[in-house]
Amino acid sequence: MSHLFSPINLGKLSLENRIAVAPMCQYSAEQGRATAWHRIHLGHLALSGAGLLILEASAVEAAGRITPQDLGLWNDDTEQALADVLKDVRQYSSIPLGIQLSHAGRKASTDAPWHGGGFLQPEQGGWQTSAPSAVPFNDTDGTPEALTIARIEEIKQGFIDSAIRADRLGLDLIEVHAAHGYLLHQFLSPLSNTREDKYGGSLENRMRLTLEIFREIRRVFPANKPVGVRISATDWVEGGWDTEQSVALSQALEKEGCAYIHVSSGGLSPKQQIAVGPNYQVPFATAVKQAVAIPVIAVGLITDPEQAEAVLADNQADMVALARGMLYDPRWPWHAAAKLGAKVNAPEQYWRCEPHEVKGLFKS
């Protein structure tokens, strides 16, 4: 039997296979509200045959958006707009749905990537950003305000409130975004966190906010629904966040009841030097997997079915996640199942499209 198409549990959530659609920002919301684009985008990904679909990074407050067009889940309007989209998606797909909750911190207030992604000043539609310390991501960015304890508490409450909204929406899973240089990663890394209070300095202090937010989300999100965390295993910068610290964080999260660790890398510093290539982040997932008992998801230039199968067969990770590759080929799991001799879910309306050489590919 194919490892890739074997079942797995994330906490108490059962998945039919080990392929996840990773969160992918679409920069297509209106004041945080999901739009017709999200209905189209999520609709066709929900028919992909993957075991899990995680919605894009969703801001827990308006100031936590990366761009003005980011998806959000911070008020009734954003909740209702997403509810309308999810209602349509669920009508035709039973795929488990998760959401990634996030705050961009100092990487907020930027333009959409196809407009250059530069920092937006207030007169350009941007806003004052905040961070652990008053250290900008780029020298050309506005200087973020160092978060006070009171503002940290407000942001924590934002994560709590968004988690409650996610449960009301019937979402099956929450992923806490502590990667890619966004706010929680900014607290974790000594490159961006120069605080001298309980949230800065030692590794224990730098991990504190991520653990506090995880703990609070776990408290308000139903026990039968998993909460996982996405991390950047390394900053790819000397003296920054690294694999050893990531292992320590993963072990601490495991003790708090974390359902899985989703291992990516980078995003904190423009000085990063990333050695990009097939499976380039898999060794980080393996290092975490060797240190914890909970499932570990690998992501990053995993593009071929045989490649994904080998990652699991060699016990380098427990699941694989695809992002850009899934956009390029939204039926990737179908094609992977055909190559690996497995079966996959597909909507009845598409059953007649099976090529003759792979008859029996679709579950009925």
Task: Domain ranges for the chain, please list them.
Answer: 8-358
Q: What is the pLDDT of residue 275?
A: 87
Neighbours of 293 (CB within 10 A): 8
How confident is residue 178, by pLDDT bands cut at 50, 70 and 90?
A: very high
Q: How much is the mean pLDDT over the chain?
A: 97
CA dist., res. 108 & res. 129, Å (int): 6
Q: What is the pLDDT of residue 214?
A: 98
Contact assessment for residue 183 and residue 64, using Cβ atoms and an 8 Å cutoff: yes
H helix or E strand, kind and range, residue 85: helix 76-92
Q: What is the pLDDT of residue 336?
A: 97
Tell me the average pLDDT across 221-245: 98
CA dist., res. 77 & res. 81, Å (int): 6
How confident is residue 345, by pLDDT bands cut at 50, 70 and 90?
A: very high
Q: Is 350 a catalytic residue?
A: no
Residue 303 reports pLDDT greater than 90: yes
Question: Percent of the chain having pLDDT more than 70?
Answer: 100
Q: What is the pLDDT of residue 309?
A: 98
- Work out the widest C-alpha separation in the chain, in whole angstroms: 66
Residue 364 reports pLDDT greater than 80: no
**To 10 degrees, the CA torsion angle through 342, 348, 351, 353?**
-120
Contact assessment for residue 110 and residue 129, using Cβ atoms and an 8 Å cutoff: no
Q: What is the pTM of this model?
A: 0.97
User: Domain 8-358, what architecture?
Assistant: Alpha-Beta Barrel (3.20)
Residue 1 reports pLDDT greater than 90: no
Neighbours of 171 (CB within 10 A): 21
* Phi, then psi, of 86 in degrees rounded to 5: -65, -30
Q: Which of 27, 92, 182, 350 is catalytic?
A: 182
Tell me the average pLDDT across 299-316: 97
pLDDT in tens, 51-93: 999 999 999 999 999 999 999 999 999 999 999 999 999 999 9
* Phi, then psi, of 68 in degrees rounded to 5: -60, -15
Residue 322 reports pLDDT greater than 90: yes
